[in-house]
Structure 1
């Protein structure tokens, strides 16, 4: 009995030693596997590999692509590193060229910065563009059907369900002035609606951050503010002068004077003539601010942020007139005589 008990005790001891040895082997194997997993596939003879990460790829999908291209040793460890670096869901789609001499951290860093995405198209809409100019530029870049784009933007109410700020637009208004001028990235083949909404989204951000609170002290509706900002955009060339130009128009409105903006007449004419004739100034249009007092019915172009800010915060000045100096700047005056003198001076 005593001998049997001794044997059992000895067997338990052997089992414990065996288990400890097994645990040690597992730990050693785990460390070795981890070390191999985070290391490069081929440090001695690295090979460049070009591949694509499609849009919407999960970390698991990315690990499959990397493994199939011979760039990682372990999908499990790759996914662990991605999560450790808080980059899960943040690896970017695109075209990549990496090499098998890179370790996992280097690969993850490259994928988090982004590769070349051949499915993405970039376009720029300059400040002061009208809807028809936006449509033409996008059409020339092969991004939209010009006629369909124009038809979609003719009625702002089509997009009012998605954009509350458009509910403030007068009935029958177009999206003139609301497609924010900027540089955009869109997927190749994006529809006209997607492109329009991308630009409206940017205007919506400007509305939240700049317009919504600032408009309260102007006494203007959103449509009037954007209309004023669009005139400032078209009349101004130097950012520093935009608050002065806005002030001139505010002052003229307060005194019951017509705005007399050449830019609004050009909009009514449908062309941007370098010099307007007296007959041009007589055109019958609600947008002719030489004939009609106050702001026009709506915006005449897409204003940039500086012009919107100027319309919200005009300069505190008494100017009623300005005339171009021919170099992008203007001479501002408070009375008609000084305005004529400045005009004559600049014509010589």
Structure 2
């Protein structure tokens, strides 16, 4: 009887150990699969563009992991820290500015940070209200692009549609006018024209957020209409406080079916920013001439900044129909034509 009990107990212990070992194997396998998955690129399937990050001097591995996770370059910051320790490179990750992308796996990112960033970079700033031709000219003078190739690429939107879905919303025949966001950028000195364009389009995609999209939808405006209107506001306004007022004038005119009569659109047709337009200038036959054609032009006339884009979807609640520029760059707004004429006479 005792032997039978001992035999039964031993059998139970063996069975329990078997289940325990199986459980450990299963847990280890699941854990291994999970860790392996977390080490993979964030976006191995889709189209990915470079993301520039800056690792400050003296950053710990934990701080670097936070920066990478915040920029969606790694899936799990804890796994990152574990792999760094396993590779025995803790404390060897170098500070600097890096261009990384979501197609890089954990090992590639760690190797890049260990190696450091020996490439020299250069900064450039595109002011708000610049046209494509002006952007090309500025970058060419900084020896960053071949002007002709840059403009040729900007005139071929289809080359960038795979990377940026928002470009699919543009009307047929559009260029990248208005969509290279004006900002300060840092690129490698040997960056190609495509890389610079991608960087600027990526910034636009970031700026044109869900909040702006929601407000545009409420106003029944397409993205192209928003950016077109914003570009006109950008060219007309000098003071940030006046952007919503200028936007309101154009919105009010559009609602009433009036001509927008923006000098900035005529200047775009002329290809030069004349301070004073002649009557002949105002007669130039172009869909961009808002003195001849009602509604918005076919596309943007320049690259608008964020404040102009916001003004385009958030016009001031006023009934102004006219504005005239004052000598100090500000504007006088009027409700009636007579008020407008008086304001113009005062500025002579």
Determine the C-alpha separation between the residues in 1 that align with 2:92 and 2:296: 49
Q: How many residues align structurally? A: 250
Find the aligned partners of 1:91 and 1:213 in 2 and give their Cα distance: 41
Structure 1 residue 184, shift from structure 2 partner: 0.1
Partner of 1:75: none
Change (3 A) 1:88 1:305: farther
Task: Give the conservation status (yes or no) of the 8 Å contact 1:243–1:315.
Answer: yes
State the match for 2:230 in structure 1. Answer: 229
Q: Secondary structure at the match of 2:347?
A: helix
Q: Does 1:262 find its partner at 2:267? A: no
Residue 92, structure 1, aligned to residue 95, structure 2 = yes
Residues 210 and 309, structure 1, Cα contact 8 Å, conserved in 2: no
**1: CA distance, partners of 2:316 / 2:118:** 45
2:158 and 2:295 map into 1 onto residues whose CA distance is 25
Residue 156 (structure 1) shift: 1.7
Is the contact made by 1:127 and 1:304 (CA closer than 8 Å) also made in structure 2?
A: yes
Task: Kindly state the Cα deviation for residue 117 of structure 1 after the two structures are TM-superposed.
Answer: 6.8
Give the Å deviation of 1:88.
6.8
Q: Shift in Å at residue 232 of structure 1?
A: 0.2
Q: Give me the whole-angstrom Cα distance separating, in 1, the residues matched to 2:241 and 2:118.
A: 38
Unaligned runs of 5+ in 2: 1-54, 56-60, 62-80, 98-112
CA separation of 1:88 and 1:161: change in aligned 2, threshold 3 A: farther
1:118 Cα offset (Å)? 6.3
Partner of residue 244, structure 1: 245
Deviations 1:297-346 (A, max 9, x none): 00000000000000010000000000001212100000100000000001
Query: Corresponding residue for 2:324?
Result: 323
Deviates more, 1:269-278 or 1:115-124: 115-124
RMSD of Structure 2 on Structure 1 (CA): 2.5
Residue 161 of structure 1, CA deviation: 1.1
- Equivalence map 1:160-199=2 (5 Å): 160-199=161-200
Q: 2:128 aligns to what SS in structure 1?
A: coil
Residues 102-148 of structure 1: per-residue CA shift (max 9 Å, x gap): xxxxxxxxxx9xx9976010000000000000000000000000000
CA deviations on 1:51-95 (whole Å, 9 max, x unpaired) are: xx9xxxxx9xxxxxxxxxxxxxxxxxxx99x96xx987963237x
Match of 2:221 in 1: 220
Which TM-score applies when normalising by structure 1? 0.68
Distance change in 2, residues 1:282/1:186 (3 Å) = same
The answer on whether the counterparts of 1:125 and 1:183 sit within 8 Å (CA) in structure 2 is: yes
Asked if residue 302 in structure 1 is aligned to residue 300 in structure 2, the reply is no
In 2, the alpha carbon distance for the partners of 1:190 and 1:235 equals: 34
Query: CA distance change for structure 1 residues 176 and 210 in 2, over 3 Å: closer, same or farther?
Result: farther
Q: What SS does the corresponding residue of 1:332 show, helix, strand or coil?
A: strand
Larger radius of gyration: 1
* CA distance 1:171–1:90, shift in 2 (3 Å): farther
Tell me the distance in 1 between the aligned counterparts of 2:201 and 2:285. Answer: 31
* Cα drift, residue 155 of structure 1: 2.2
Shift of 1:213: 2.1
